[in-house]
Structure 1
Amino acid sequence: MKAYWIAHVDVTDPEQYQQYTQRAPAAFKAYGGRLLARGGRSEALEGRPTPQRSVVIEFESYEQALACYRSAEYQQACCHRQGVATAEVIIVEGVD
């Protein structure tokens, strides 16, 4: 069953954040992730205010999504996000 990585991100240093966005896609690809949405137009209809960026990545399984997040490749990319952005990352299993 497919799984989805959903992230809401607020960036405080766009220039430094580019270091993350240049590295993270390689980890997604290595684990079969497919970007479905990445920072396009959005509007919060309920809950917290609209984050600056929303990201949705599809994986073939929940386990692959978790493995990607926990991988050395992704964690190295995360080092470039920490301190320059606030992120909420959720992995959710899809429906059959």
Structure 2
Amino acid sequence: MAKAYWVSAYRKINKPDQVAEYSKLATVAIKEGGGRPLARGVASMAHGAGIAERTVLIEFDSLDQALATFNGDKYQEALRVLGDACERDFRVVEGLE
């Protein structure tokens, strides 16, 4: 079974304190959902339309696990806290087998 990844590329952070609160809640939801952070921080390099802003990569054992965590109550609460605090590109990508 292929692993799956959450990829979050932040384009602009408008309310850093709110993003920090979201991050606390999201970290708990992700851990409980079986997710493992692989990378987190400001991009070392950006190319093309990329922006050197915060990027987060989370690994899950399967696409089902990644989607269940995203749709779970705890992560949805974290998203409510995040609200309009930032502009980000969020994707769930299935890995190669």
Q: CA deviation at 1:45?
A: 1.7
Q: Distance in 2 between matches of 1:95 and 1:49?
A: 24
Question: What's the TM-score once normalised by structure 2's chain length?
Answer: 0.89
Which consecutive unaligned segments of at least 5 residues does structure 1 have?
none
Cα 1:71–1:51 shift into 2, 3 Å: farther
Aligned to 1:85: 86
Q: Distance in 2 between matches of 1:53 and 1:77?
A: 17
| AA partner of residue 89 (structure 2) | E
Question: 1:36-62: CA deviations, max 9, x gaps?
Answer: 01124432222x231521110000001
Identify the match of residue 17 of structure 2 among 15, 18, 30.
15
Aligned to 2:72: 71
Aligned-residue identity in percent: 37
Q: Distance in 2 between matches of 1:93 and 1:3?
A: 4
Which consecutive unaligned segments of at least 5 residues does structure 2 have?
none
| AA partner of residue 73 (structure 1) | K
Question: What's the TM-score once normalised by structure 1's chain length?
Answer: 0.90
Aligned to 1:53: 54
Q: What is the RMSD of the two structures over their aligned residues, measured on CA atoms?
A: 1.3
Runs of 4+ in 1 over 3 A off after TM superposition: none
